[in-house]
Amino acid sequence: MPDPIRVSDAVTVPGAALALAFTRSSGPGGQNVNKVASKVELRVDLSRIEGLREDARRRLDALTASRRDADGRLLVTSQRTRDQHRNLEDARAKVRDLVARALRTPKRRRPTRATAGSVEARLKVKKRDSAVKKLRANVRGED
For 34-83, write each residue's pLDDT tens digit.
778 889 999 999 999 999 999 999 999 999 999 999 999 999 999 998 88
Sequence-separated contacts (24+) of 31-34 with Cβ below 8 Å: 32/82
Q: What is the pLDDT of residue 141?
A: 61
Segment 19-39 mean pLDDT: 81
Residues in the chain: 143
Structural domain boundaries, residue 12:
5-103
pLDDT band at 94 (very low <50, low <70, confident <90, very high): very high
Query: Which pLDDT value is given to residue 26?
Result: 81
pLDDT at position 143, please? 55
- The CATH number given to whatever domain includes residue 35 is 3.30.160.20
Q: Is residue 137 part of a domain?
A: no
pLDDT confidence bin for 91, thresholds 50/70/90? very high
Alpha-carbon distance values, 16 to 73, 74, 99 (Å) = 13, 14, 17
Q: What is the pLDDT of residue 116?
A: 97
pLDDT over threshold 90, residue 114: yes
Residue 118 lies in a domain: no
**13 in a domain, yes or no?**
yes
Residue 134 inside a domain? The answer is no
Q: Tell me 16's DSSP state.
A: G
Q: How many domains does the chain have?
A: 1
